């Protein structure tokens, strides 16, 4: 049976990195006022919303390139913890009309980032950190 853990890690890195980068680029082009509003509604200063660029632009680039990918994965995980809290509050597993959790996508990114953090980036990257 064919097994290549480094290729699997590369696929994980590329999938979560590229897909998350789409979210970050959208925020670069269209702004983050909606995120700032959600933060302020929870009593958090709106300027902290700029942290989304770290978790959705810088971290994905680090992950895609395999350049300190564990750090990038940790940054993305923190960003997704905040997203889960903002989307689902105390009930992140509350279901939508279609049956999925309200924070489904954020949870998927969170656990994928944690998997990458614990597994490491693999051989195919700029460095192995």
What are the mean pLDDT values of the chain's consecutive 10-residue runs (129 residues total)? 93 98 98 95 94 98 97 98 84 80 90 97 89
Measured N-to-C along each axis, helices 104-119 and 69-88 cross at an angle, to the nearest 10 degrees, of: 160
| Token pair listed for 117 | 């953090």
Please give the backbone phi and psi of residue 95, each rounded to the nearest 5 degrees, phi first.
-90, 150
- The answer to whether residue 129 sits within a structural domain is no
Q: How many domains does the chain have?
A: 1
Look at the alpha carbons of 32, 34, 38, 44 in this order and tell me if their dihedral is positive or negative: positive
- Which residues share a beta bridge with 95? 101
Task: Report yes or no on 128 lying in a domain.
Answer: no
- At residue 101, the 3 state secondary structure works out as strand
| 46 lies in some domain | yes
pLDDT value, residue 90: 64
> Domain limits at 34?
5-119
Q: Residue 49: inside a domain, yes or no?
A: yes
pLDDT score of 87: 83
């Amino acid at each position: 049976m064919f097994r290549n853990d480094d290729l699997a890690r590369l696929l994980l890195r590329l999938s979560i990195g590229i897909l998350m980068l789409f979210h970050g680029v959208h925020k670069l082009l269209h702004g983050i006022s909606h995120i700032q509003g959600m933060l302020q509604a929870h009593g958090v200063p709106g300027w902290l919303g700029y942290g989304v660029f770290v978790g959705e632009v810088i971290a994905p680039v680090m992950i895609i390139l395999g350049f300190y990918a564990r750090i990038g994965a940790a940054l993305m995980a923190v960003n997704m913890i905040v997203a889960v809290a903002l989307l689902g509050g105390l009930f992140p597993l509350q279901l939508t009309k279609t049956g999925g959790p309200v924070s489904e996508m954020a949870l998927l990114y969170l656990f994928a980032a944690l998997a990458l953090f614990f597994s490491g980036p693999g051989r195919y990257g700029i460095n192995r950190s």
